[in-house]
Structure 1
Amino acid sequence: MNETVKAYFDAFNNGDTAAMLACLSDDVAHHVNEGQVRVGKDKFRAFCDHMSRCYREELTDMVIFEAEKGTRAAAEYVVNGTYLQTDEGLPEAEGQSYRLPAGSFFSLKDGLITRVVTYYNLADWTRQVSQ
C-alpha cells in the first residue's frame, strides 16, 4: 500500500486540510469529478475549503492499490456524507445523508502526489439528496 496515499486519506477523514496538502506536490493537478482540472496547492486548498462548507464526509471500506513501483496508485471506497450547505447548481441542502461508491487515481513522484483524479456517480448522489 502506498503510504502517501494512505496518509492523504487519513488526513481527509480527520478533516485536516494541512495534512492533505503536505502529501501533495506544489504543482499537483487535481481532476475534479465533472469539473475542471485545478493546478497547484492553492487551488486544492480552496476546493477543500469549499467542500468543508458544503459537505461533511467520511470515507470507509477503503482499498488502496499501488502500481508502477509506487509512481501510480488507486483507491476505491464508500463516501458517507451529509449535505450541509447548498452547493451552486445542485439541489438545496437540508442536512441530507448520502452514501455512494467512489474511486481516486494518483500519480506520485518523490513521495508526493502529483495528480489526483476522483470519480463518483453524480446522478446517484443527486437522487439520494433529492428524496
Structure 2
Amino acid sequence: MNSLPGIIQTYIDAYNRMDVAAMLACLSDDVTFSNISGGEVTAETSGKQAFAELANLGVQAFASRHQKVVNVISVVDTTLIEVDYSAVVSVDLPNGWKAGQNLQFRGGLAFRIAGGLVVSIVDQSGHSEKTG
C-alpha cells in the first residue's frame, strides 16, 4: 500500500476524533466537498465555512465514527483511498438511520492537495450493511 500523504492522515485522524477544528486546519479556504451515495450526490459544499457547517452536523449525527484506510493510490496531487467505515448513529436521521444503529460499509474518498492543503474531497460510500 502506498503511504498516505501527511495532510490526509492528519485529516482522517481528526475525522475519527470528531475534531472539526483540526479537520478544517487541513483544508484550503476554497475547499470543495461532495458526498456521493448510490450514484447520487447527497451533499455538496464549497468553501471552508460551508464545509464546517456540514462537518458539525456530522459530529451531531454520530455517537462515534471511524475510517480505517485499507488502500491508497496517489498520483501527482490526487490521492484515492479505500476505507472501512463504521459508525454509531446518535439521532434518528432523515435517510432512515435510527439512533443507536451500527453502520459498517466500505467507501472511497478522493483527495486533491495544493499548497500543502486539501482543496477537494469526494466521498463515495458503498451501501451500508445496517446492523442493530
Instruction: Report TM bin, short chain.
Output: 0.7 to 0.9
Runs of at least 5 residues in structure 2 that lack an aligned partner in the other structure: none
- Contact in 1 for aligned 2:69/2:81 (Cα 8 Å): no
- Once the two structures are TM-superposed, the CA of residue 49 in structure 1 deviates from its matched residue by 0.9
- Which secondary structure does the structure 1 equivalent of 2:28 belong to? strand
Partner residue in 2 for 1:29: 32
The 3-state SS of whatever aligns with 2:42 is coil
One-letter identity of the residue aligned with 1:43: A
Aligned to 1:12: 15
List structure 1 segments (4+ residues) > 4 angstroms apart after TM superposition. Answer: none
TM value normalised by structure 2: 0.85
2:130 matched residue in structure 1: 128
Q: Which of 81, 86, 102 matches 1:80?
A: 86
Given the two structures, how large is their TM-score scaled by the length of structure 1?
A: 0.86
Q: Which runs of 5+ in 1 are unaligned?
A: none
Shift of 1:83: 1.3
More strand by share: 2
Q: How many equivalent pairs are there?
A: 124
Displacement of 1:60 after TM fit? 1.9
SS of equivalent to 1:49: helix
Which region of structure 1 is more displaced relative to structure 2, 34-43 or 95-104? Answer: 34-43
Asked if the contact 1:29/1:39 (under 8 Å) is kept, the reply is yes
Say yes or no: does 1:59 pair with 2:67. Answer: yes
The separation in 1 between residues aligned to 2:99 and 2:114, in whole angstroms, is 41
1:95 corresponds in structure 2 to 100
Provide the alpha-carbon RMSD of the alignment.
Answer: 1.7
